[in-house]
């Protein structure tokens, strides 16, 4: 049955948001498959992978939302619950992907959801007046045609790299082994249990297996006598690579296994013909590895009443924190530096 006919047959389940209609699903539904047939695939996330992500079991709630304009599917949005807000289900598991949508309807569809939605690490800013709290993030990127070691000498990292080459020489370097991707993701999630890693890890495992089979994701691993001690995963994005995550066994940290793996995987990417390696942003240590690259953005899409309520709550918490500090700390004796 054509998607438009299926949509009309379930009209009573729709919620009207301006010119757009939304229908929410707790589980994957055949009507979503019909809708995807009318929508363009995301560059780094084919429809088949998107379907796998939304069907994959998760430790938190997931929702699929079909958005239509006058009965015509214009977007299918995948959401994952994160504490008191929602995030896109593609977050942290594919690079620079939002949702399958007709380009002109992508942001209107996200706004039509009418929820508190945070969008992370996108390589394009949102249109004006669509998002709140638009935050630019500086990234770091290596040009594979440049002399890596000249830059590392400039930043002072070359000494640590040379030491890691000597100390970690006994380890085996492995590329694109299925076990290395799974090992890296699981250890990365265990290390960051208090952040999004543990939430997105089940979907990341599904994504890594799918993309690695089509050479759109590469995994790197250092092994000692066949046992992984450090791992790294990078997505393929056009003619470049984008760092997804790294991990290592804590007891091997002093041997520089993380540094050695960065070194070897960067050299491998150059020989494989990739043009750039993007390390992302958010961590100061990345400036030692690569010069500044493009800007990426994090932003919030939410109805005004939700956004204003959050602003009031933030202001109240800030005032209470200041009041507690003043009450409990009291006036301070001046120090030598204050006089």
Domains, the chain, with CATH or none:
3-137+296-319 (3.40.630), 139-293 (3.40.630.30)
**Per-residue pLDDT, 56:** 97
Burial class (CB in 10 A: 0-12, 13-18, 19+), 243: buried
What's the predicted TM-score (pTM) here? 0.85
Across 60-64, 283-287, 318-322, least confident range? 318-322
Across 162-176, 298-312, 318-332, least confident range? 318-332
Instruction: Quote the longest CA-to-CA distance of the chain.
Output: 80
Examine the pLDDT at 325 and tell me if it is beyond 80. no
Across 13-17, 103-107, 163-167, 219-223, least confident range? 13-17
Q: What percent of the chain has pLDDT over 90?
A: 74
Cα Rg, the chain, nearest whole Å: 23
Q: What percent of the chain has pLDDT over 70?
A: 85
**Per-residue pLDDT, 1:** 45
Per-chain mean pLDDT for the chain: 88
Which residues, 6+ apart, have CB-to-CB distance to 181 below 8 Å? 205, 208, 209, 212, 217, 219, 231, 233
* pLDDT (average), residues 208-214: 96
Q: What is the pLDDT of residues 50-104, one digit of tens each?
A: 999 999 999 899 999 999 999 999 999 999 998 889 999 999 899 999 999 999 9
Q: Which carries the bigger pLDDT value, residue 183 or residue 332? A: 183
């Amino acid at each position: 049955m054509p998607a438009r006919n299926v949509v009309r047959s379930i009209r009573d389940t729709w919620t009207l948001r301006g010119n757009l209609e939304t229908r929410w699903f707790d589980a994957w539904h055949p009507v979503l498959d019909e809708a995807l047939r009318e929508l363009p695939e995301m560059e780094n996330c084919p429809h088949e992978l998107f379907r796998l992500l939304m069907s994959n079991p998760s430790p938190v709630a997931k929702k699929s939302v079909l958005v239509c304009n006058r009965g015509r599917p214009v977007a299918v949005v995948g959401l994952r619950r994160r504490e008191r807000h929602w995030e896109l289900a593609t977050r942290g598991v594919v690079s620079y992907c939002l949702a399958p949508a007709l380009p002109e309807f992508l942001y209107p569809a996200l706004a039509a959801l009418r929820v508190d939605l945070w969008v992370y690490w996108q390589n394009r800013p949102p249109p004006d007046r669509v998002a709140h709290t638009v935050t630019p993030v500086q990234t770091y990127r290596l040009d594979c045609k440049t002399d890596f070691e000249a830059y590392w000498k400039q930043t002072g990292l070359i000494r640590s790299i040379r030491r890691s080459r000597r100390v970690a020489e006994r380890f085996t370097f492995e590329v694109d082994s299925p076990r290395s991707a799974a090992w890296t993701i699981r250890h990365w999630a265990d290390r960051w249990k208090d952040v999004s890693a543990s939430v997105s890890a089940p979907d990341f495992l599904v994504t890594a297996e799918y993309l690695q089979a089509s050479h759109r994701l590469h995994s790197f691993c250092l092994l000692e006598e066949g046992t992984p001690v450090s791992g790294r995963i990078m997505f393929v994005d056009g003619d470049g690579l984008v760092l997804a995550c790294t991990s290592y066994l804590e007891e091997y940290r002093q041997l520089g296994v993380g540094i050695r793996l960065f070194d070897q995987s960067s050299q491998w990417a150059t020989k494989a013909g990739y043009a750039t390696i993007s390390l992302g942003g958010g961590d100061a240590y990345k400036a030692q590895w690569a010069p500044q690259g493009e800007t990426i953005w994090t932003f919030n899409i939410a109805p005004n009443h939700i956004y204003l309520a959050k602003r009031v709550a933030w202001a109240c918490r800030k005032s209470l924190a200041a009041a507690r500090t003043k009450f409990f700390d009291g006036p301070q004796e001046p120090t030598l530096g204050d006089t």
